Structure formats: structure tokens, C-alpha cells
Structure 1
Amino acid sequence: MDGFEQRMDSAWEWWGAAIEGSQEGRWIRTDDERRIIDDIAAAAVGCPPSPDELPWRARLARIVRWAAVLRLAAGAGGWELAPVAGAAPPRPAGMAALLSAVYAVGEQGEIWLRGLPADGPPPVAEVLKAEAFLFGPGSVEDLRQFFYD
């Protein structure tokens, strides 16, 4: 499995562990965690236009902004972002695992954006997977809807 695939698979696993932990009552969010999730949703929301409507730099910047938002959120809450690629999520998983999962995808956008001048655009299929994780129904963009508390 290449680095991107491992990063995406692990991000989904960590994301799922955190959401499952909350839905099954192993992680009860604090008021601060609720506010930060609301702030994340407000700061990084955006409907994805069709891929051919945006130039590569703008398209990657939409992914990158998640990394910036998650660094701010983690700092505000005192959580440490952990590398997720190839690592099992902590059990029970909570806010740090959730933020780390989303950050991993935003960080991939940063890698692509830095490499854009020298390497050209990243593989379209990989960008589509990152966008599907972050934007649209059932994605991070719907974060608030995954919690029942």
C-alpha cells in the first residue's frame, strides 16, 4: 500500500473510531469539544464545485485549509495531533483521534501543494478521495450530524 492509500485508510479508521466511541457512549463530548467542532464546521465548510471548475492550486488549497483549521483547533483544546498512517486508533478514541484523522487528510493537501511547482498535479484519483473525505454528504463537512449528545 502506498503512502497516500495508507494515510487515507488510517484517517477513515481513526475517524470511525472517534465517531463510534461517541455514538456508543465511550466518549462524551465536553462543552468545549462541542464548541470546537462547531467552529471547525463553520471554518472549513464549502460545497465542492465540479473538479474542472477550479485550477489545481485552488482545489488543493481547499484541502489544505483543513490542516490549518485542525492545527488551530488542536492548539485551542490542548490536544496533540498524532500521525495516523499505519497506526491503530486509540481506544477509546476521542477528540484527539478525530482531529488527527481529519488533519492527516489536510496535511496530504499541504504535501501536494508544496510539490505542485516541481512535480505537477497529484493523481486525480487521490485528490478525489481526499475531497470525498472532507466535502459532501457523509464527510467531515457533516461532522456535527454524527454526534447524538
Structure 2
Amino acid sequence: MDSFTARLDGAWEWWSAAVDEAQEGSWVRDPVERQVVADIMAATNALHGGRPAPFTEDSWHVRIGRIANWAGVLRLAARAGGWELQPVVGRRPSTPAGMAELLSGIYAIGEQGETWMKQLLRESRVPSESEIGQAEGFLTGPGSMEDLELFFYDS
């Protein structure tokens, strides 16, 4: 399994663990957690104009930049709330899962975007269309991180 596939699988697993805990009522977000999620959503607005991913009309810089922006936002969010981001590849999320697991899952994809951006700027190397499309689909569109607030019933 290539590293991006492992990262994407881990991201979904960690994100799902946290959302499942929230939907089952095991994790009820406190006011700080609710505000952090709202701030993440405001800071990562993909500005795609309602177009579905993949955003093949946009330049590689814009596409990869959208993904990479999530990493910085999530590092700030984790610091603000005192949560520690964990690597997700080959690891199981803690139980009960909560905000740290949610942020770690999403961060895995943003971090991948940062790696891609470095490769693009240093080597003019771009990820495969399939990989970037999957990352875009994870972060934007129906059922994605863009809809994150809809997965919580405690708002």
C-alpha cells in the first residue's frame, strides 16, 4: 500500500472514530471544542464556488495549497485547545475518541498537502491526479470535512 493510501485510510479511521463517539453520545463537545470546529471551518473555506472535487480547472498550486492550508489551521487549533496531534498511519485511534483524534485524522491529509507543496516548489513534482482528487474529496464536498459541523448533534 502506498503512503498516501495508508494516510487517507488512517485519516478516515481516526475521523470516523471521533464522529462515531459524538453521534453515540460518548463524546459531547464542550463550548471550546464547538468553537474550534467553527473556526476551522471558517479558516479552511475552499472557495470552490460549489464546484465538486476534484478541482481540475484550478492550477496545481491552488489545489495543493487548499489541502496544505488545513495543516496550519489544525496545528493552531490543536495548540489552542491543548490537544496533541498524533500520526494516524498504522495506528488505531484512542478510545474513547474525541477532539484530538478528530483533528489528527484531518491533519494527516493537510500534512500530505504540505509535503506535496514542498515537492511542487522544489522539484516541480506533482501528485497523481487520483491522489489529489481523493484528498480534495476528503476535505471538500458532501460528506467531507467541509460538512463537519453536520456530523455533530450537540450544537
TM-score range (shorter-chain normalised) is over 0.9
Match of 2:114 among 110, 127, 132: 110
- Root-mean-square deviation (CA, aligned residues, Å) is 1.2
CA distance in 2: counterparts of 1:28 and 1:56, whole angstroms: 38
Q: Which residue of 2 aligns with 1:137?
A: 142
SS in 2 for 1:11: helix
CA deviations on 1:25-46 (whole Å, 9 max, x unpaired) are 1111111000111111111122
Deviation at 1:53, TM superposition (A): 2.0
**TM-score of the pair, normalised by structure 1:** 0.96
Matched, 1:65 2:69: yes
CA distance in 2: counterparts of 1:132 and 1:4, whole angstroms: 14
**TM-score of the pair, normalised by structure 2:** 0.92
Q: Percent identity?
A: 54
Q: Report the count of equivalent residues.
A: 149
Matched, 1:18 2:23: no
Deviation at 1:124, TM superposition (A): 0.7
SS in 1 for 2:41: helix
Counterpart amino acid of residue 140 in structure 1: M
Matched, 1:124 2:129: yes
SS in 1 for 2:28: coil
Q: Which residue of 2 aligns with 1:29?
A: 29
Deviation at 1:121, TM superposition (A): 1.1
Which segments of 5 or more consecutive residues in structure 2 lack a partner in the other structure? none
SS in 1 for 2:147: helix
